[in-house]
Chain A
Amino acid sequence: MSTTPLMPSAVSRRRMLQLLGIGAGTAALAACAPSAPGSSTGAASAAATGGAKTDFAFSSWSFTEEAAAPALEAIVKAYQDQAGVTVKDISFPYNEYINQLTLQVKGGQFTGAAHVDVAWLGSLAAMGKLQDLSALTEGRGYTDAALAAAQFDGVQYGLPWTIGAIGLIGNSDLLEKVGVAGDAFPTTIDEFEKTLKDLKGLGGGLIPYAASTKAAQLKDALIWMETFGSPLVDGDTVTIGDDASVEAVTWYKSLYDQKLIAADVDRFDARSLFAQGRAAVYDDAPVGRGAVTEESPDKDLGSKLVPVSRPVLKAGDSPRALVWGGALAVVDGEGAETAADFAQFATSDLDTVLADYEVRGLPPVTTEAQQSEVVASDTFGTQFNERITATSTSNPFWAFTAYSQIETVVAEQVQAVLVGKTDAKTAMQKAGEAAQKLVG
């Protein structure tokens, strides 16, 4: 390359500075531009009093899911016919959903009804754009437990839609081979470990318990810490690192060392292993039923699924389970009042809820729906409700906007223990300190 200028410079320094100035000005202009109108939390009173209906947007990750989409489309159609409005459906993949929704709500791009995981309510509520929907819960028959699951900081930021829990699911065929009937599942951790050893004794590469061991899903270890007696957080003080959490992780590691749980398993892997009959027990929510039965070569697997209570540390303790479920939140702005009315319709109109149940099979949230013939006759759903959901509690970290990062730092330390990088006591102390920084 020649080092001699072939042509005189076409851009002077002054021109360059002008161009840079224009660029900086453009960026500043964009930064200063007003965002779409947002508002602080308000009551959905207009919807409750039957104000004029307007078009609105409804976002859900299920709109494009093959199994769930027909249920949602039917609900939307029924509401459109009834209210004479148009509902614009918006969908993001589940794993990207909360990030995309947050971005859109913050930017004022989204207003209306939003399908949310109850775990996300805290971080969404922190943006100050969710409506308080408590006025819409009156006289609709929502169960107290369901309403509580869709609250944050005592405010009803969502109407519960499908509330259940994450608990243990067993394969009755495999359990019976080691003499465990579905309703006689081990109640204590010692008995549970013995059953896992018996299952391993069946051979054939069977994984007794497809517990989560990948970092991405190791937040599942939190429920075992609670089972061992750790509150995880007390007020604003993280208690991870206490004796109970250390004992829980030590026990989890012992299962790993005995090969009673397998390496590199997350929820998707666990479902696949269970569907193939290669795992006898795994953790899941009711939504997993469809996935495992669909993936399984055993066409009768559905009848072999048995929800069981999580074993406790000592007899008399209450079995632990983590609340799981979906709620409908309403983002303030254009169409929000009608969106709130829609949320109430979708979650508590009996015919709508039962039609939804027949397609998605997810637990309804009103007493009337739960007692209906179609729901009560579903053995799996009933057992799940009685044995798992009944004693479920929220993750105490959900009260903090950084809950996801907190779960991640704890999961990373649990994984460090599993792979032998560190001991449980050191790891849990580190996890507790890191979580405390995030709690603030």
Chain B
Amino acid sequence: MSATTQLPATPTPPSASSPAGGDAPRPPQRLRRGALRSERPGVRIAAWATVVVCGGFGLLPVYWLLATSLTPRDQVFSYPPKFFPSAPTLDAFAALASNEQLFGYLRNSVIVSVLTAVLSVLVSAYMGYSFSKFRYRGRRSLMYLVLASQMFPQALLLVTLYSVFSAYNLLNTYTALVLSFTTFTLPLCVWMLKGFFDTIPDELIEAARVDGASRLRIIHSIVLPLAAPGLIAAGLFAFVRGWNDFVFALTLAGPEKQTLPPGLVNTFIGEASTAWPELMAASLVVSLPVAIAFIALQKYLVGGLTAGAVKG
């Protein structure tokens, strides 16, 4: 097609509200304005109030985290509570900066979470593809079996995994953490990616086969690139799961491989007291990488989670 060729105008159905019927030329249809920009003040106020309440619900804890991290320890529980710290201090952040152990926890968290994300994506991509594009006896049962593993209480699996890792001398290693985290992330990742692969037309794969592509070539050169948003979503989910885990990291990691969640509790929560400003400051700092990753990749996460949710 020539570059100068004009595309035919898209026919538009007659508007029911148009007094001139289908023959009159229509201005381009504007996007429907949301309630926030409604011209009716009542609707607008209600919409803004909803946004403020929902926003406050989500953001107030984050603000309180920040405010507590800037409050001297002897004023944390002052009564009545102060919304703004009366004598803000950076002491808690300074204490963090001088705590070398926390950097060790941070390093361990990064290593374990990244490896969990990579392993989860790697395994679940092939599993998801198999469930989506192959037909074999027991496929559906296997799919639900994978999902059913999510229904076991974590404490039950913890004892089992502890025994297995102990028997194979894997306790206190990154391997133990990565394998155990992957155990939990895999079911959701598999289902998420299966949904994504379902949206890739079978005809595309058929065409590649006709062109002589091998199965592996089809997966690696055609399907996986198309499923990149889903892979990112699955990886992000697995990363966050590895980043946040407490019980498994505490039990399987040992002191040298301890990750941030148990590390922070161990460092700041004692038998009789809790160093709240330091704990809040540390929580704030360690949340940042995850928050940044989320903001940067949120469109993929939403896309990945909802892929396959709607047919058609």
Contact surface of A with B, Cβ cutoff 8 Å: 1-2, 4-7, 9-11, 13, 16, 27, 29-31, 33, 35-36, 61-62, 64-68, 89-96, 100, 103, 107-109, 205, 268, 271-272, 275-276, 278, 285, 287-288, 290-291, 294-297
18 contacts between A and B (CB under 8 A): A1-B198, A2-B202, A4-B135, A5-B135, A6-B206, A9-B135, A11-B130, A11-B136, A29-B167, A30-B167, A31-B163, A68-B271, A92-B250, A103-B162, A108-B166, A276-B77, A287-B272, A297-B75
- Whether B171 and A109, one on each chain, are in contact in the complex, defined by CB atoms closer than 8 angstroms, is yes
Cβ proximity bits B202-218 to A, threshold 8 Å, 1 near / 0 not: 10011000000001000
**Docked complex: B250-303 residues within 8 A CB-CB of A:** 250-251, 255, 262, 265-267, 269-275
Contacts of B106 in A (CB 8 A): none
Contacts of A6 in B (CB 8 A): 133-135, 202, 205-206
- Whether A276 and B79, one on each chain, are in contact in the complex, defined by CB atoms closer than 8 angstroms, is yes
Choice from B79, B171, B270 contacting A67 with Cβ under 8 Å: B270
A35 to B262 alpha-carbon distance, docked (Å): 26
Contacts beyond the supplied A29-B167, A103-B251, A108-B166: 11 A-B pairs with Cβ under 8 Å: A5-B134, A9-B137, A30-B168, A62-B270, A89-B255, A103-B162, A107-B166, A268-B274, A290-B273, A294-B273, A295-B73
- Whether B271 and A287, one on each chain, are in contact in the complex, defined by CB atoms closer than 8 angstroms, is yes
- Whether B251 and A95, one on each chain, are in contact in the complex, defined by CB atoms closer than 8 angstroms, is no
A241 to B271 alpha-carbon distance, docked (Å): 32
Shortest distance from the beta carbon of A265 to any chain B beta carbon, whole Å? 13
Contacts of B171 in A (CB 8 A): 109
| 6 A-B pairs closest in CB distance | A9-B136, A33-B167, A5-B135, A291-B273, A65-B270, A30-B164
The verdict on A66 contacting B275 (CB below 8 Å), with A103-B159, A276-B78 known, is yes
- Whether A13 and B137, one on each chain, are in contact in the complex, defined by CB atoms closer than 8 angstroms, is yes
Chain B: interface secondary structure? Answer: helix
Choice from B74, B78, B166, B255 contacting A90 with Cβ under 8 Å: B255
Q: Does B132 contact A (CB under 8 A)?
A: yes
Cβ proximity bits B97-137 to A, threshold 8 Å, 1 near / 0 not: 00000000000000000000000000000000010111111
A5 to B250 alpha-carbon distance, docked (Å): 45
Contacts of B133 in A (CB 8 A): 6-7
Shortest distance from the beta carbon of A33 to any chain B beta carbon, whole Å? 3
The verdict on A13 contacting B74 (CB below 8 Å), with A33-B167, A268-B274 known, is no
Contacts of A107 in B (CB 8 A): 162-163, 166
Task: Please name the residue on chain B nearest to A89 by beta carbon.
Answer: B255
A19 to B45 alpha-carbon distance, docked (Å): 61
- Whether A294 and B162, one on each chain, are in contact in the complex, defined by CB atoms closer than 8 angstroms, is no
- Whether A291 and B272, one on each chain, are in contact in the complex, defined by CB atoms closer than 8 angstroms, is yes
A113 to B4 alpha-carbon distance, docked (Å): 85
- Whether A294 and B74, one on each chain, are in contact in the complex, defined by CB atoms closer than 8 angstroms, is yes
Shortest distance from the beta carbon of A122 to any chain B beta carbon, whole Å? 20
**Docked complex: B37-86 residues within 8 A CB-CB of A:** 73-79
**Docked complex: B219-252 residues within 8 A CB-CB of A:** 250-251
A252 to B206 alpha-carbon distance, docked (Å): 76
A16 to B135 alpha-carbon distance, docked (Å): 14
Contacts of A109 in B (CB 8 A): 166, 171
The verdict on A288 contacting B272 (CB below 8 Å), with A31-B163, A93-B265 known, is yes
The verdict on A94 contacting B271 (CB below 8 Å), with A13-B137, A30-B168 known, is yes
- Whether A296 and B74, one on each chain, are in contact in the complex, defined by CB atoms closer than 8 angstroms, is yes
Shortest distance from the beta carbon of B274 to any chain A beta carbon, whole Å? 7
- Whether A272 and B272, one on each chain, are in contact in the complex, defined by CB atoms closer than 8 angstroms, is no
Contacts of A92 in B (CB 8 A): 250, 266
Shortest distance from the beta carbon of A293 to any chain B beta carbon, whole Å? 9
Contacts of A100 in B (CB 8 A): 250-251
- Whether B271 and A295, one on each chain, are in contact in the complex, defined by CB atoms closer than 8 angstroms, is no
Task: Please name the residue on chain A nearest to B258 by beta carbon.
Answer: A91
Choice from B74, B164, B166, B198 contacting A35 with Cβ under 8 Å: B166
Task: Please name the residue on chain A nearest to B76 by beta carbon.
Answer: A295
The verdict on A7 contacting B166 (CB below 8 Å), with A13-B137, A103-B159 known, is no
- Whether B266 and A295, one on each chain, are in contact in the complex, defined by CB atoms closer than 8 angstroms, is no
- Whether A64 and B164, one on each chain, are in contact in the complex, defined by CB atoms closer than 8 angstroms, is no
